[in-house]
């Protein structure tokens, strides 16, 4: 249980880093006229780690004491966050990135591929960043940096 929370917590940095790498890679190759195997791998890698994070999150959702469905839960900031806000934002972000990658892979034009990755991964990254219980955005939740 504790190890799962630690893994889920630490993986946030790997996920964020991989998304930033994929976005920077898309921007710097927008006008290259090429979509190489390494581009495909960078985008795929970011998505795989996101899905591992999703899996850990889902396990935590059914085991964590921070997720409780009780009367008045929506009036309790901590319960509302872990019951509803955090999972909804994260699933939305992951869905957008998964969809964007699918769309990009279907396209023939390399610059459209990079453009789609840029748009969807950036939007997903922003949503995921907002959904993380950072100590500076959610100081009352008692979550840390690791």
Q: Give the C-alpha separation, 34 to 9, whole Å.
A: 36
132 binds ligand HEM (CB under 6 A): yes
66 binds ligand HEM (CB under 6 A): yes
**Tokens, residue 105:** 């892979």
Q: Give the C-alpha separation, 54 to 58, whole Å.
A: 6
According to CB under 6 A, which one of 20, 52, 64, 107 is a site residue for ligand HEM? 64
Please, which of residues 75-104 interact with ligand HEM by CB under 6 A? Answer: 82, 86-87, 90-91
Shortest reach from residue 67's CB to ligand HEM, in Å: 5
Shortest reach from residue 138's CB to ligand HEM, in Å: 9
The dihedral over CA atoms of 47, 137, 62, 51, expressed in degrees to the nearest 10, equals 0
Number of residues that bind ligand HEM (CB under 6 A): 25
CB closest to ligand HEM, residue no: 57
Q: Give the C-alpha separation, 104 to 22, whole Å.
A: 13
Q: Give the C-alpha separation, 29 to 35, whole Å.
A: 8
Give, in degrees to the nearest 5, the angle at Cα 132 between 89 and 95.
30
133 binds ligand HEM (CB under 6 A): yes
Instruction: Pick the stretch among 22-30, 36-44, 51-59, 102-110 that binds ligand HEM (CB under 6 A).
Output: 51-59
Q: Give the C-alpha separation, 59 to 52, whole Å.
A: 11
Q: Which residues bind ligand HEM (CB under 6 A)?
A: 5, 8-9, 12, 15, 50, 53-54, 57-58, 60-61, 64, 66-67, 82, 86-87, 90-91, 128, 132-133, 143-144
């Amino acid at each position: 249980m504790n190890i799962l929370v630690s893994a889920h917590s630490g993986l946030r940095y790997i996920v964020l880093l991989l998304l930033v790498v994929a976005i920077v890679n898309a921007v710097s190759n927008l006008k290259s006229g090429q979509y190489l195997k390494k581009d495909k791998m960078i985008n795929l890698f970011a998505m795989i780690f996101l899905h591992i994070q999703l899996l850990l999150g889902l396990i935590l959702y059914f085991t964590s004491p921070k997720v409780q469905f009780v009367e008045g839960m929506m009036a309790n900031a901590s319960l509302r966050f872990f019951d509803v806000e955090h999972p909804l934002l994260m699933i939305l972000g992951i869905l957008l990135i998964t969809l964007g990658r699918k769309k990009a892979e279907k396209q023939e034009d390399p610059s459209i591929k990079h453009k789609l990755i840029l748009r969807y991964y950036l939007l997903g990254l922003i949503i995921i960043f907002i959904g993380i219980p950072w100590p500076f955005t959610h100081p009352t939740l008692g979550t840390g940096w690791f």
